[in-house]
Amino acid sequence: MKDFEGPGHSCSEPGDVTQLPTPMAESIQESNLDRGQCAHAHESVEFDVLYDEHFGLIWRMLRALGVAASAIDDAVQDVFMAAYRQLSGFEARSSATTWLCGIACNVASNYRRREHRKGGLLPLDPSWPESAPGPLDQLEQTQAWAVVSRFLDSLDEGKRAAYVLSRIEGMSAPEIAKALGIPTNTVYSRLHAAHGALQKFLSVNGQGVLP
Amino acid sequence: MNDFSSLEFELMARARNAIEPAASDRARLREQLAAKIALLSTAAAIPTVSVSKVRPLRHLLGSHFVALSAAAVIAGTVSFGAGYYAGFRARPFVTNTVSVTLPDSTVLPPSVHSLVAAENKLDSASLASSSEWGHSGTRPKVTASAAPSANAAENSLSEELDLLRRAERTIRAGNSLVALGLLRDLDQRFPKGQLLEERTAARVMANCQLADTDTARAQGNAYLIAHSQSVYADRVRSICQLDSAKVTKDSPASGD
C-alpha cells in the first residue's frame, strides 16, 4: 500500500494532510485535529489510500457475496467504517487487502442473515449494473451475472466466500486462507467442491450464457 | 487449463465486469463515508452539558448568565477544539471537568443561542429575554461538568445537535454536498427531531450554495415566508441571493 508518511512528517506539519482535496480527507483531518492525535492524522492519509485502492474490490465482493444492489451502499460503508475503527489495531500481519476482505465477508454474512430473517434474499436486480460499456456487452455481462449470482446463491457461505475471492478477485489460496481465517487446505477443498458444483449447475442452467 | 476451466474463467470475468462499480458510486460513497467519519468524531468529541446541574444555577443566578455560560461552553469547545478530550476513544465515558474562558471580544452567533436553547430545553420566550444578539460583554470564567447523560431523550437531542452543528460547519466551509449528506442522515435518524426548523434552514442554504437555481431560490423564498423571524433568515437571504423586497407568497415552492 502506498505510504504517505514520508520521513520527517510530524504533527507540526499538518499541511500535508489538509492539502488533500477530498471531502473524506478533510473530514478525517478535522476529526483527527479535534482529537489532537498526530498518529491518527497519519492514519487518515493511509485510510484515504486504503479506500481508493480497495473500493472496487469491496464493492464487487459484497455484491458477489450476496448483498443486494439496494443495500450495497450501506454494506460498503459498514466495511470501511469498521476498517476505520480498527485501523490502529491493524498489525500488518496480513496484507491490508486480506484484512479488508475478512471484514467484508463478515459484513456480507450479516446482511445475508438479515435478509433471510426478512423472508429470503432479495430477487435479482436485472437493471443493474449501470456501468457496462455498451448494450451488447451489457447484455452478456448481465446474463453472466444473473447465472453466476444464482450459482453463488446455491453455495453455502464458506464455499461461496472462497470461490468469490478466488474466481472473481483472483486471490491465491494462502491469501484466501488469511482473509477467511481458515487453513489453506480447507480453501483448496472448498474451491474443488465449488468447481464441481458449478459444472453441475451450468449443465442445467447454463444454456445461452456460456461463452 | 481444460475447456471447462476456460469457460469458467470467461464467465466469471463477465460477471465481474457486471458488478464493477461506476465512478459515480465511488464518489458518492466517498462523500457519505466522509460524513460518517466526521460524525463519529463529533459525537465523541463534544460532551453533553449536564442539564440537571445547569438548571439550579439558572434558578440562583438568573437565566441570562446561565444561557451565556452554556453558550460559552459550547462555543469554547467548538472554537478551541477538543484537545481537552484527547484519548476519548479509549475512555468514552470518563467524567471530567472543563474550564473554558472566552475572549472578551467573542460574539456568539445566533445559531449558538438556538442550539443552547435546545440543549437546555429553554422555551423561546426565555431565550428571547435572556439573549441580546450582538452584545459583546465580558464573559465570566465558566466551569461546567461534562458527564454522560443517563436520559435517552437528552442523548437523542445531543446527537441531533451534533449532527446539525456539523452540517452548519460544512456549509460555512462551502462543502454543501457533505452538508446535504449529513442532513439526510439527520432525516433518517431523527425524522421527528426537535430542531426541524434549523434543519430546514440548513438544507435550504446548502441547496442554494450548491447550485444557483430557481428551485433552490424558491425553497429559500418559501423558508423566509414560513419562518420570517428565524435567526437564519439573514443567512438564507444572503446565500440564496434573495432580496427581502422580493420575497413573495406566490412562490412555486412555498409549501415547504
Run means of pLDDT, 10 residues per run, chain A, 211 residues: 32 33 45 43 66 90 90 92 83 78 91 72 44 60 87 93 90 89 94 93 75 53
Domain count, chain A: 1
CB-CB neighbors (< 8 A) of B29 in chain A: 55, 73, 76-77
Of A56, A199, A210, Cβ closest to residue B21? A56
In a domain? residue A13: no
Q: What is the pLDDT of residue A43?
A: 55
Q: Is residue A15 part of a domain?
A: no
Say if B41 is an interface residue toward chain A (CB within 8 Å).
Answer: yes
| Residue A148 counted as domain residue | yes
Residue written as grid cell 477467511: A180
Is residue A199 domain-resident? yes
Residue A19 in domain: no
List the domain range (segments joined by +) for residue A56. 34-205
Q: Report pTM.
A: 0.46
Question: What would you measure as the largest C-alpha separation in chain B, in angstroms?
Answer: 87
Complex ipTM, two decimals? 0.71
What is the distance in angstroms between the Cα of A122 and the nearest Cα belonging to chain B?
16
Q: pLDDT band at residue B244, thresholds of 50, 70 and 90? A: low
**Is residue A49 less than 8 Å (CB to CB) from chain B?**
no
Residues of chain A positioned with their CB less than 8 A from the CB of B47: none
In a domain, A141, yes or no: yes
CATH at residue A86: 1.20.140.160
Is B207 in CB contact (< 8 Å) with chain A? Answer: no
Query: In this structure, is residue A98 part of a structural domain?
Result: yes
Question: If you write DSSP's letter for every residue of B106-157 in order, what string do you get?
Answer: ----HHHHHHHHHHHT--HHHHHHH--TT---PPPPEEEEE-----HHHHHH
| Distance separating the N- and C-terminal Cα atoms of chain B | 64
Test A148 with B22 for CB contact under 8 angstroms: no
The owner of cell 459583546 is: B136
Return the bridge partners of B96, or none. B146
The C-alpha atoms of residue B238 and residue B232 are separated, in whole angstroms, by 10
Q: For position B139, what pLDDT does the model report?
A: 37
Any domain includes A18: no
Q: In this structure, which amino acid lies at residue A17?
A: V
Interface test with A, best of B14, B39, B77, B188 (most A CBs within 10 A): B14
Q: Looking at the complex, does the CB of residue B255 fall below 8 Å from at least one CB of chain A? A: no
Confidence band of B72 (pLDDT split at 50, 70, 90) = low
